[in-house]
Amino acid sequence: MNRSRLRSAVGLLLVAGVALSAAACGSDDGGNAPASDPNAKVTLVINGLPPDTEAVNRKHFLDNVAEFEKLNPNIDIDAKEGKMDPQTFQSKLAGGQLEDVFYVYFTDPASLIAKRQVADISKYLGEFAPTKEIRPDLMKIFSDDGGKVYGLPAKNYSLGLLYNRDLFTQAKLDPNNPPKTWDEVRTAAKAISALGKDYVGYGDYSKNNTGGWHFTAGMYSLGGDVAVNEGGTWKAAFNNEKGTQVLQQLKDMRWTDNSMGQRQLLEWADLLQMMGSGKLGMYMAAPDNIETIVNQFKGDFNKYGLGPIPNGTATLAGGEGYMFNAKATPEKIRAGLKWLTFWWDNPDRIATEYEWAASQKTPVGLPEPALWTGDAKAKQQAAIDKLKNLPVENYKPFADATANIPLKVEPPNAQQIYAVLDVPMQKVLTDKNADIAKLLKDAETQVNGILASVK
């Protein structure tokens, strides 16, 4: 039964072996970016192409590719499906199948940079003006400590409280005034789960790293931290009152109030599906979840509201972007930067994109933190004001608060830390007698072990 799993692992090792014997690499050590012939023919392999099931988005992507190729006759784009999948990333890299420009989540760059699996693009950025307008805190995610840059952000999000307005109304809560503190969340969750046996007032994650992710968001909301840098060394920073508060809140809601449902060990899609089924009151989410709930889980745009992250001292920000294959030639890096600054990282294209979205009846106006600073930021806001097509008043509580809630990026080695922090989340949600102090202490020991390797 598990033998097939072992065999595929062995196969993978084999691929790795074959690739290794043929591996070769090059690097540059100069002051300026290496020159390349601007008219040379380049084939640029990229990913992020939407699958056939998303016909409209796929066509749009390919239309953009066609437009770009027309503007750049010497660049031929070979677009592949797929985003960042850690399970296949290493084998693609080993087998020489990794795209020249590939999609990553904000949690990926740090470890890819540390493993030297991505190309340094710092020297090329001067040739691409729009990159100067990208928010410095987002650029930092794609940089190493020395300030070298290895990729560009394409989208970002921050977490808030996604809630079902209909259930708020049914539970005699004000749908235009979502909970602003964790105490209010607890009260509202009790009211919603009182609607009936199948209703879950508040949902949360605890499986496959999503639990640790939400624990981190909880810590940030209270003004806490998961890891802090003290004099150049990273240390775990959650074994304290705030960490206890995050877990105690969940434990009380799960066992004292019984407002979190019986089914736990949930992972990413579970809460979206529950929200789509109309039985879940609230959960912590990024605004883009609304679109997925509507498209994949039969939800309805008018039903959902977005509130700010409870307590709102700070909120976790994540997102996605693109990085460059370590073996990419100067021609390919330039072509890749041309492509990124033609579409995602191009303030002049924001309005065009929103016009297209509006024409397709896909959402314009979901409150997302801007990628931009200065003039570019103003351009984006003007385009949203002109083209919004969503019940944006439902997201007003979130949008109003966002301006005043500082964004906080994820800790270093985020996925490893999240895997450790899944455990306390799992325990408080599945064990009535979970010992919070011990859970935090054990997790702290492990996270410090992980952070010891962070430079």
Residues engaged in binding another protein (CB under 8 A):
1-3, 5-7, 9-11, 13-14, 16-17, 19-20, 23, 25, 86-87, 89-90, 93-94, 111, 115-117, 198, 206-209, 211-212, 261-265, 267, 326-327, 415-416, 418-420, 422-423, 426-427, 430-431, 442, 445-446, 449
Q: Tell me the three state secondary structure of residue 212.
A: helix
Contact 117, 93 (CB under 8 A): yes
Gap between the Cα atoms of 442 and 423, Å rounded? 10
CB 371 within 8 A of CB 347: no
264 CA to centre of own chain:
22
| Residue number, 81 or 431, with CB nearest to another protein | 431
Q: Shortest gap between Cβ of 208 and another protein (angstroms)?
A: 5
Least distance to another protein, CB of residue 124, Å: 19
The distance of closest approach from Cβ of residue 98 to another protein in the complex, given in angstroms and rounded to an integer, is 9
Residue with smaller CB distance to another protein, 61 or 205: 205
Tokens of 94: 């080993």
CB-wise, 23 or 378, nearer to another protein? 23
Task: Say if residues 451 and 235 touch (Cβ distance below 8 Å).
Answer: yes
Contact yes or no for 160/287 (Cβ under 8 A): yes
Q: Which is nearer to another protein, 266 or 384 (CB)?
A: 266
Least Å distance between CB 269 and another protein? 13
Question: Which residue's CB is nearer to another protein, number 238 or number 354?
Answer: 238
Residues 335, 316: Cα–Cα separation, whole Å: 33
H helix runs in 2-54, sequence order: 3-21
Q: Which is nearer to another protein, 368 or 422 (CB)?
A: 422
Q: Least CB distance from residue 330 to another protein, whole Å?
A: 17
Write the CA distances from 317 to 57, 234, 259, integer angstroms. Answer: 25, 20, 27
Least distance between another protein and beta carbon 41 (Å)? 25
Alpha helices in 129-173, H assignment, sequence order: 136-141, 165-170
CB of 10 to another protein, least distance (A): 4
Radius of gyration of the chain (CA): 23
Specify the residue, 39 or 87, whose C-beta has the smaller distance to another protein. Answer: 87
Distance (Å) of CA 111 to CA 100, 414, 434: 18, 9, 33
User: Strand, coil or helix: what is 200?
Assistant: strand
